[in-house]
């Protein structure tokens, strides 16, 4: 069959070649992130839980996603909302029990949804039995060697061993008191004081994590999202590095030296080992997805070489400014980089660590993107943000590869941008004394029903973070079945993405639309889709004969694609 995109239609350079129609599931999956604290609360304590999730999985099936990724639900003192794990083989009482987890996985599988769990290998909680044993056992002990303990500098050892900062603000080291009451050694924590970094040079750590992987794989889990995947190994000698660290920041500026705590070559040995553990479980593939804040893309894709992880989050796409030039560049370079190692690219616009894209895109273009918005900050333009968010998602879901959705984005939810400080729980806010607002604004419990206690999140009024008054208008029951709602847009996009094989398709640039338009053709598996995202100030025309499949907003009366609107069309 001749390639229909060669037949005089608006198609030009090939950016990415189509994959086979029967490509492995993770090469084109749409994965929905559940932040368990905030999705659905069955027991009414104000914190979401696994029975709440199980009861609502049908909603995700109807939405049309392929898999669900859970932020951590393990036993944890919750100093960093569960990214501080005290027991990797148990569920925190807040979320339920192991039996609840098994029931959730069984229900998901019944519905044909895969389940990916979060794995936090860079650090444990300070309440993990290993850390408690390390404190008790004292300097030089094998127990201490599971973490990164060092003597302090200065005559009394009262200065930290080096000048590393914590990503959450403040020092990266904390001094302990030894069992005899004397001031003791220091331990490294790249995040909160309650998240001591593990010493991955100690073979015991690798063995333990292989065993943890097997524990969850044996329970039927389909994959792992690997937290801070670029951080496990530190440069030998822990050389000084007096630079502030920020979440999702690929530290490497072109030509800059590699920060000694990130992206050390030896991390890849860890992922090769894990790959072979997962491969031992046969088909369908179990997967690893890297949260690695690594630049440039050529280094980032080393995490997804054929014998390592399967996917990595594409934070360059998430961080791209709302300009056609930047989006075109990041789409092209992401696919090129991923193709160079034979991996799928992935796409993501929101997660639990960033301002939701419906709010982010309502801020002025070109400014530094905040990791949280407070009432005293310039407020996003909510209508503009939603319009652009819908256009951005419509562009994203047309791209080949895997895509990640963050709970609530299918409702067009904005961040909570006026949360009083007293409610905030992100350690970033606490450690920087409010200088960094932190991530609570994107973590607010989901509105399911406008006229119900806690907007239907749970059976009581309780919510662990306050829901903004405006959230009622975004509730699922306000959008379900309503033509033009964001929820119905997502459902249509996901259905059409599947029907038109956009996840495995090839991608070409489409020409003749002007600099302010991202115009692409996804070749699908033979039925091409023209994708036009108009970021310019003037409406643009679709080619003659093109028929709109789905649009992120209304077209003009004469059928033009207006500003901040994306259209899929057949032609």
Catalytic positions are 227, 291
Q: Could you tell me which of 565, 522, 523 has the C-alpha nearest to residue 540?
A: 565
Q: What is the DSSP letter of 357?
A: H
Smallest distance, Å, CB 119 to ligand GLC?
11
Smallest distance, Å, CB 193 to ligand GLC?
13
Exposure string over 197-233, b if 16+ CB within 10 A, otherwise e: bbbbeeeebbebbeebbeebbeebbbbbbbbbbbbbb
Q: Residue with structure tokens 């097997």?
A: 214
Helix (H, G, I), strand (E, B) or coil at 412: coil
**x-or-dash string of contact with ligand GLC, 244-263, rule CB under 6 A:** ---x----------------
Exposure string over 72-95, b if 16+ CB within 10 A, otherwise e: bbbbbebbbbbbbbbebeebbebb
Size of the site for ligand GLC (CB under 6 A): 10
> Do residues 312 and 401 make contact, with C-beta atoms less than 8 angstroms apart?
no
Smallest distance, Å, CB 195 to ligand GLC?
6
Residue 92 or 501 having the CB closest to ligand GLC: 92
Among 100, 316, 326, 353, binds ligand GLC (CB under 6 A): 353
Residue 322 or 429 having the CB closest to ligand GLC: 429
Smallest distance, Å, CB 87 to ligand GLC?
16
Q: Could you tell me which of 104, 61, 116 has the C-alpha nearest to residue 498?
A: 61
Q: Residue with structure tokens 């053709």?
A: 521
Sign of the torsion angle spanned by Cα atoms 24, 25, 29, 33? negative
β-pair type (30-34, 67-70): parallel
CA angle, 84 as apex, 82 and 90 as ends, to 5°?
70
- H or E element: which one contains 186? strand 183-188
| 171-210 positions binding ligand GLC, by CB under 6 A | 191
Residue 350 or 485 having the CB closest to ligand GLC: 350
Q: Could you tell me which of 330, 269, 274 has the C-alpha nearest to residue 297?
A: 330
β-pair type (547-551, 565-570): antiparallel
Smallest distance, Å, CB 225 to ligand GLC?
9
Q: Which tokens belong to 216? A: 């969850």
Helix (H, G, I), strand (E, B) or coil at 477: helix
Smallest distance, Å, CB 445 to ligand GLC?
17
Residue 247 or 496 having the CB closest to ligand GLC: 247
Smallest distance, Å, CB 359 to ligand GLC?
18
> In sequence order, what are the residues at sequence separation of 6 or more whose Cβ sits closer than 8 angstroms to the Cβ of residue 433?
none
Intra-chain end-to-end CA distance of the chain, in Å: 16
Q: Give the CA diameter of the chain.
A: 82
Site membership for ligand GLC, residue 228 (CB under 6 A): yes
| 105-124 positions binding ligand GLC, by CB under 6 A | 120
Residue 243 or 375 having the CB closest to ligand GLC: 243
Task: Say how far residue 351 (Cα) sits from the centre of its chain.
Answer: 5
Sign of the torsion angle spanned by Cα atoms 276, 21, 60, 397? positive
Smallest distance, Å, CB 94 to ligand GLC?
17
Residue 120 or 331 having the CB closest to ligand GLC: 120
CA dihedral 98, 101, 106, 110 (to 10 degrees): 170
Q: Which tokens belong to 397? A: 């879901």
> Do residues 230 and 251 make contact, with C-beta atoms less than 8 angstroms apart?
no
**x-or-dash string of contact with ligand GLC, 81-100, rule CB under 6 A:** --x-----------------
49: β partners: none
Site membership for ligand GLC, residue 227 (CB under 6 A): yes
Smallest distance, Å, CB 535 to ligand GLC?
29
Q: Could you tell me which of 284, 267, 307 has the C-alpha nearest to residue 116?
A: 284
Residue 191 or 568 having the CB closest to ligand GLC: 191
Smallest distance, Å, CB 545 to ligand GLC?
46
| 41-80 positions binding ligand GLC, by CB under 6 A | 80
> How many angstroms separate the CA atoms of 166 and 67, rounded?
33
> Do residues 500 and 529 make contact, with C-beta atoms less than 8 angstroms apart?
yes
Residue 144 or 352 having the CB closest to ligand GLC: 352
Site membership for ligand GLC, residue 436 (CB under 6 A): no
Residue 264 or 552 having the CB closest to ligand GLC: 264
> How many angstroms separate the CA atoms of 425 and 534, rounded?
38
Smallest distance, Å, CB 228 to ligand GLC?
5
Residue 252 or 493 having the CB closest to ligand GLC: 252
Residue with the CB atom nearest ligand GLC in the bound state: 83
> How many angstroms separate the CA atoms of 424 and 434, rounded?
9
Q: Which tokens belong to 318? A: 């998430």
Which residues contact ligand GLC (rule: CB under 6 A)?
80, 83, 120, 191, 227-228, 247, 291, 352-353
């Amino acid at each position: 069959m001749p390639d229909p995109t060669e037949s005089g239609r608006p198609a030009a350079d090939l950016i990415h070649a189509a994959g086979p129609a029967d490509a492995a599931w993770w090469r084109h999956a749409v994965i929905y992130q559940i932040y368990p604290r905030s999705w659905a609360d069955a027991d009414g304590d104000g914190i979401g839980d696994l029975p709440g999730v199980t009861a609502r999985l049908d909603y995700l099936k109807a939405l049309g996603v392929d898999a669900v990724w859970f932020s951590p639900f393990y036993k944890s003192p919750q100093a960093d909302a569960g990214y501080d794990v005290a027991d990797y083989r148990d569920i925190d009482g807040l979320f339920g029990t192991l039996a609840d987890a098994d029931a959730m996985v069984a229900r998901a599988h019944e519905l044909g949804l895969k389940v990916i769990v979060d794995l936090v290998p860079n650090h444990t909680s300070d309440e993990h039995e290993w850390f408690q044993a390390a404190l008790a056992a004292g300097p030089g002990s094998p127990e201490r060697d599971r973490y990164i303990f060092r003597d302090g500098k200065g005559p009394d050892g009262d200065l930290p061993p080096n000048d590393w900062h914590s990503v959450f603000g403040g020092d990266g080291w904390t001094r302990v008191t030894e069992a005899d009451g004397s001031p003791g050694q220091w331990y490294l924590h790249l995040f909160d004081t309650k998240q001591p970094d593990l010493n991955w040079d100690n073979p015991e750590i690798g063995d333990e994590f292989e065993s943890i992987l097997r524990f969850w794989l044996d329970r039927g889990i389909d994959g792992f999202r690997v937290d801070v995947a670029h951080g496990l190994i530190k440069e030998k000698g822990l050389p000084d590095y007096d630079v502030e660290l920020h979440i999702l920041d690929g530290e490497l500026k072109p030509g800059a030296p590699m920060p000694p705590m990130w992206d050390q070559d030896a991390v890849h040995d860890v992922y090769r080992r894990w790959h072979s553990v997962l491969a031992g479980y046969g088909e369908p593939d179990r997967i690893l997805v890297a949260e690695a804040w690594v630049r440039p893309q050529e280094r980032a894709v080393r995490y997804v070489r054929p014998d390592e992880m399967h996917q990595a989050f594409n934070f360059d796409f998430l961080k791209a400014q709302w300009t056609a030039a930047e989006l075109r560049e990041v789409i092209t370079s992401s696919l090129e980089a991923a193709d160079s190692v034979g991996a799928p690219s992935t796409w993501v616009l929101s997660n639990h660590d960033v301002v939701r894209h419906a709010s982010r895109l309502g801020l002025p273009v070109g400014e530094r993107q905040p990791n949280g918005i407070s009432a005293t900050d310039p407020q996003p333009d909510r209508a503009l943000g939603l319009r652009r968010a819908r256009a951005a998602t419509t562009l994203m879901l047309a791209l080949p590869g895997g895509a990640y959705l963050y709970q609530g984005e299918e409702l067009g939810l904005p961040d909570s941008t006026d949360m009083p400080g007293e409610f905030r729980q992100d350690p970033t806010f606490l450690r920087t004394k409010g200088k960094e607002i932190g991530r609570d604004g994107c973590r607010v419990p989901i509105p399911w029903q406008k006229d119900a206690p806690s907007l239907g999140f749970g059976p009581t009024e309780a919510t662990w973070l306050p829901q903004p008054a405006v959230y009622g208008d975004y509730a699922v029951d306000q959008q379900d079945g309503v033509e033009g709602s964001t929820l119905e847009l997502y459902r249509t996009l996901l259905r059409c993405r599947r029907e038109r094989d956009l996840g495995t398709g090839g991608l070409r640039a489409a020409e003749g639309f002007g600099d302010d338009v991202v115009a692409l053709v996804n070749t699908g598996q033979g039925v091409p889709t023209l994708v036009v995202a108009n970021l310019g100030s003037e409406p643009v025309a679709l080619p003659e004969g093109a028929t709109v499949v789905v649009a992120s907003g209304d077209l003009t009366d004469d059928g033009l694609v207006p500003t901040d609107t994306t259209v899929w069309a057949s032609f």
